[in-house]
Amino acid sequence: MDMGKTKILIVGGSSGMGLALARRYLDEGATVIIAGRGEAKLSAAQEELSYSGSLEIAVVDISREDDVAALFQRIGRLDHIVSTAADIAGAYRLLPEIELSAAQRVVESKFYGPLLLAKHGAPKLSANGSLTFVSGIAAYRPAARGAVVAAVNAALEGLVRALAIELAPIRVNAVSPGWVDTPIWQFVAGDAKDETLAAMARRLPAGRVGRPEDIADALCFLMGNGFTTGTTLHVEGGHRLV
């Protein structure tokens, strides 16, 4: 595929699976815009990727409609929009300990954010363009402390199916990762991160947890396959089976 004229927006592109996806498409010659709330993180990612001319950064809070509308007004035409953003810090709590503000941040980043990206971004997409979001294994294998994340992931997948109908022929899909070794685990498990991931690796049929590049592969497939829409692609090492 000739990526020379392809323009992609990746929200959450400053770390983890979003950064891996940005690197993949920059290597193929696309123009990539990585977006997020933290200018320092975006600048560090820009320096790490070091693709002069074909990489841009954009500071945006996708839970704020004015921010999202201004972003698309500024960047113009696009071929693909991806969001890997997730603000789950503080959300993994047992029911009596859940703070509504933490739950609201999950909803804003993983549901309202994608909704606003679709609302304001779809008019900027080419007819064969795509919107791709990231849900997660919690929707299928919920655990104690994970009620909010499980519910929001499931809601996002429902949104994807509805938008695939409303926005056609623009394609709308989701990737549902399993446990992936990304910086978000520092918030989930803290100092027990390595031990927690190693224990899961022993359980999984794949024999390991995921890497950001595994999810980037799945995102690339959904963005590039013109006959896939309204779909959730599971990339979880067999987690749903165990």
Active site members: 135
Q: Is the C-alpha dihedral spanning 143, 101, 158, 121 positive or negative?
A: negative
**Do the beta carbons of residue 13 and residue 34 sit within 8 Å?**
yes
Give the separation between CA 8 and CA 134, rounded to whole angstroms: 16
- Which residue has 């080419």 as its token pair? 126
Cis preceding-peptide flag for 96 (omega within 30 of 0)? no
**Do the beta carbons of residue 138 and residue 236 sit within 8 Å?**
no
* Strands of the sheet with 125-134, listed across from one edge: 55-59, 31-36, 7-11, 78-83, 125-134, 171-177, 232-235
